[in-house]
Amino acid sequence: MNYTTTVDSYKTVSEIEHTLVKHNAKSIMKNYDGESITGLSFLIDTSVQQIPVRLPVKIDECFEVLIREKKKGTKNIKATREQAERVAWRILKDWVATQMALLDMQMVRFEEIFLPYIKTDNGQTVFERLKEKQFLIEINDESKL
């Protein structure tokens, strides 16, 4: 599962950007924490409007998994933050590529793929808003996520 990748995270981010651009994503922006890229933000065109998306990469969580795997004795695991960054981005690249294959086959729409990551009016993602509301959704004409 890409645990041993040596591909630099900047190269992987570039590959993801290229894939998104090929699928008409607009205004791609990198989000940083220090020198680490922590996510990508971009716009997708829909039949109604442009929708902002914030796609995070969870490096700290990936680092914890690598540490656990190394403690279990999994071979060839390098449990460093730099490796976690490479692994996290590589996994995200594979996920984006798989999702774009579904899009290419017209099995899903762009907004279905990225629904949890769509930014809402207050800057939170749909997932963050739902989590805040304990995943309780009230459906009515005046309801907002």
Give the pLDDT confidence score for residue 75 in this predicted structure.
78
In a domain, 94, yes or no: yes
Taking the C-alpha atoms of residue 119 and residue 41, their distance in angstroms, rounded to an integer, is 9
In a domain, 56, yes or no: yes
Residue 107: Cβ-neighbour burial (10 angstroms; 0-12, 13-18, 19+) = exposed
Count of domains forming the chain = 1
Taking the C-alpha atoms of residue 38 and residue 3, their distance in angstroms, rounded to an integer, is 18
In a domain, 81, yes or no: yes
Within a 10 A sphere around the Cβ of 129, how many other Cβ atoms? 18
Q: Are 45 and 55 in contact (CB under 8 A)?
A: no
Q: Taking 90 as the threshold, does the pLDDT of residue 1 lie above it?
A: no
CA neighbours closer than 13 Å in the CB half-sphere of residue 101: 6
In a domain, 118, yes or no: no
In a domain, 135, yes or no: no
- Residue 12: enclosing H or E segment and its boundaries? helix 9-22
Q: Are 126 and 118 in contact (CB under 8 A)?
A: yes
In a domain, 63, yes or no: yes
Residue 135, phi-psi category: left (phi > 0), alpha (psi -120 to 50), beta (remainder): left
Mean pLDDT of the 15-37 span: 95
In a domain, 54, yes or no: yes
Residue 47, phi-psi category: left (phi > 0), alpha (psi -120 to 50), beta (remainder): alpha
pLDDT digit string, tens, across residues 40-85? 999 999 888 999 999 999 999 999 999 998 898 877 888 899 999 9
In a domain, 48, yes or no: yes
Q: Taking 70 as the threshold, does the pLDDT of residue 141 lie above it?
A: no
Q: Which domain holds residue 41?
A: 9-113
Mean pLDDT of the 86-111 span: 97
Give the pLDDT confidence score for residue 138 in this predicted structure.
73
